[in-house]
Amino acid sequence: MTFIKGRQIMGAALIANECVDTRLRGEVPGIMCKLDIEKAYDHVNWDFLLNILRQMGFGESVNWRKSNLFPIKEVVQMEELAGIFGCKVMSLFPIPISVVKKLDRLRRNFLWFGNKKGKGYHLVEWKTAQLHKEAGGLGVRNLKLPNDCLLMKWLWRLNGNDHALWKEVILNKYGQTEQWCTNAESTTYETSVWRSIRNLWPRLVKNSCYEVGAGNKILFWKDLWIGQEVLMQVFPDLASICTNLEVTVADSWSPQGWNFFFRRHLNDREVGRFVELLQMIDGFEGTTVEDDTFRWKHDKDGKFSVGRIYRKEVSWMPENKIGPWKHVWKSMAPTKVKCFAWLVIRKACLTHEILQ
């Protein structure tokens, strides 16, 4: 499916998983057919290709062992190692916590010992190493967080304009009472990949907003379409006496003005709050014939990316960067020297005083 326009290989994997899940739930016998399609790289002479790559210098670890100034020789390769472990699997399947712990153990050993075997010292706590560099860490990625960010991309694609086959499968299987996502799964079955993806929807919504087009998919009170917070949170007193919190922007708006329906007359305090509400939505220019759109709220272009959600989700990104860390990592010194300085500042060097 990778070679078919508009299709992705992981989309095929998602469809296959959901079809098998449906069959298992139904307890109806069935047959699964797997077709092996011949690809171009089936005819590549790999021995010849690898020999050419070696001659061009690929695969060499240059200068890694020239100095023993400090033990963190492989810190630059940590991201590559995480990528090798994750491959494409992390872009569709949730990584189990037990697997994360095993991979973290491998990464810790790789960070401090490299290719050496035997016991040694972990000079700095692993949680500290995972802090952002400007917060005093090494910026080593948390494996679970990128996995969640990659899974959230499926939820974003669900609201895209393309007509991918996997969308049709998912929407038909789970239904869509909500305008922007499928129904939540309450089953105890663990074979469904989409169930794990769907559970991340609240985290994506927290970082997104809506741009009003026709207004028929955006809820006036519950969706973030104007301001910095949803209107139900800004005006809880008015929302509590509204007859219908599921009303859309399209139903609330008319060329003559806004239509509001409350269960009773407003008291003096509520009248003042209602005036504040009207002032807040005064700049709304009205609905159009265009479709409503789902947007990333932290950047002007409104586009989602895994990198953007990762940076936003990283809880250890400091707002007030205190300490010499920025000067250490921005210096022109070699990486080994900067890492050694990091250890010195952390008081983590294997000195006689520390060992005592």
User: Who's near 152: CB < 8 A, 6+ residues apart?
Assistant: 197, 200, 203, 204, 306, 309
Residue 326's pLDDT is what?
Answer: 85
Q: Please check whether residue 275 lies inside any domain of the structure.
A: yes
Residue 150 forms part of a structural domain: no
Residue 221 lies in a domain: yes
Range of the domain at 220: 209-280
In a domain, 114, yes or no: no
Residues 6+ apart with CB under 8 A from 198: 155, 174, 181, 182, 184, 185
- The tens digit of pLDDT for each residue in 287-339 reads 899 999 999 998 889 999 988 888 888 755 554 456 788 889 999 999 889 98
Using 50, 70 and 90 to split pLDDT, how confident is the model at 128?
A: confident
- Asked if residue 8 is part of any domain, the answer here is no
C-alpha to C-alpha distance for 303 and 315, rounded to whole angstroms:
21
Residue 82, domain member (yes or no): no
Average confidence (pLDDT) over 17-37: 79
Which band of pLDDT confidence, cut at 50, 70 and 90, is reported for residue 38?
low
In a domain, 18, yes or no: no
Q: What's the structural domain count of the chain?
A: 1
Greater model confidence, 175 or 315:
175
Indicate if the pLDDT at residue 231 is higher than 90: yes
Q: What is the pLDDT of residue 220?
A: 95
Average pLDDT over every residue of 45-63? 72
If you average pLDDT over every residue of the chain, what do you get?
A: 82
Cβ atoms 201, 170 nearer than 8 A: no
Instruction: Identify whether 147 is part of a domain.
Output: no
